[in-house]
Structure 1
């Protein structure tokens, strides 16, 4: 328990330390002003895409949680398409909106097909410490980063500074907080998947031990 808690602490700490490092690379080394083609935005998209894939994998392997995990994974995939709006619009204008609508519709329909397990799976997830990290990440991403990174706040803090400096400061704060949110979503998704993967692994190991005992007993009986 202590080792597990220490590992979780180190995982969260390293993830949070990664955020200023990535932002620094974009600002100081690449000098791209945290553009959509920068490392920060790219890592944000990667983390939410991995979270979606983890959710879909869990939906395939955990029938009792499938309806809920499809909803969650579909939501994450919609967020990924939103992050890639500029790239997708290069194909044709409004493509990302079409993909979001299609993903949301398919996820909701598939989830409602097995709605009997939806509420129970949702209740079980809300009691999980791992899923609490996901909820914290979503709140940080959709609420806190938007409010704390608003231009009106930083106009009052940085009175009299150049408009470009003000915009850069606001962007650094908002994108940094968004990356924190995406990391917590990914971390929580990974922990949730690992926690629900262990019971099945333990069951397989237990079955293997039982089979081995049965084989040994049969072998001794035949030898006798």
Structure 2
């Protein structure tokens, strides 16, 4: 009996250690991408491994949130909005390629995706609000919020040219600024996908519990004392 009581916390600790190891290896791979790009002197290029990795992580986040929208109806509206949001970010990252059509062309698909996402969300605003409430109260919400703040606020302030000009003075090298800014963005995208995976597992677990309850309905005898 005592062995069972002890083994449960021990298993929990080992499970937490395993989670840490997996996340540490994941972030080590992100650092490896940055090291490779710096060694190849290919950081600022649109075709750099950092830029490609950012697009892959964004595409993975878009796909994951779309899957969440299909898996669990309670998350559907919010997950669809988040999927559209990250698709717009992906389009923005591809601005140099899309601008080959004409300057500013990327805004057309970005605005189209935005309109297509906001219309059903506004039309069913009560459902959207309830779905968003579930998303922001999830245990994975802090990870997503930190990642978004890192992407939309910190990386912009940290990557300001004036900061690096003051830091390096006459030895200012633009590539150093680009490494700092792009690597921070890459870390943010990595955290966003990590949060998206968490939401997906949470949605799958909620779906499984719902299916179990449907397949094993509670009878009056079960409720009796």
SS of the equivalent of 1:129 reads: coil
Structure-2 separation of matches of 1:85 and 1:72: 20
RMSD over aligned CA atoms reads 2.1
The runs of at least 4 consecutive aligned structure 1 residues that moved more than 6 Å come to: none
2:207 matched residue in structure 1: 200
Distance 1:63 1:114, change over 3 A: farther
TM-score, with normalisation over the residues of structure 2? 0.83
- Matched residues, number: 206
Please list the CA deviations of residues 55-97 of structure 1 after superposition, one character each: whole Å capped at 9, or x if unmatched: 1121122222222111111100000000111122234443321
Deviations 1:152-179 (A, max 9, x none): 1111211221x4xx20110000000000
Distance (Å, rounded) in 1 between the aligned partners of 2:181 and 2:84 = 24
Correspondence 1:43-192 to 2 at 5 A? 43-161=53-171, 163=172, 166-192=173-199
**Residue of structure 2 equivalent to 1:222:** none
SS of alignment partner, residue 158 of structure 1:
helix
Structure 1 unmatched ranges of 5 or more: 212-224
Structure 2: stretches of 5+ with no match in the other structure: 1-11, 218-225
**Which string of whole-angstrom CA distances, capped at 9 and with x for unpartnered residues, describes residues 18-61 of structure 1?**
233112212213x3233111110011011111111111121122
Bigger Cα displacement from structure 2, 130-139 vs 69-78:
130-139
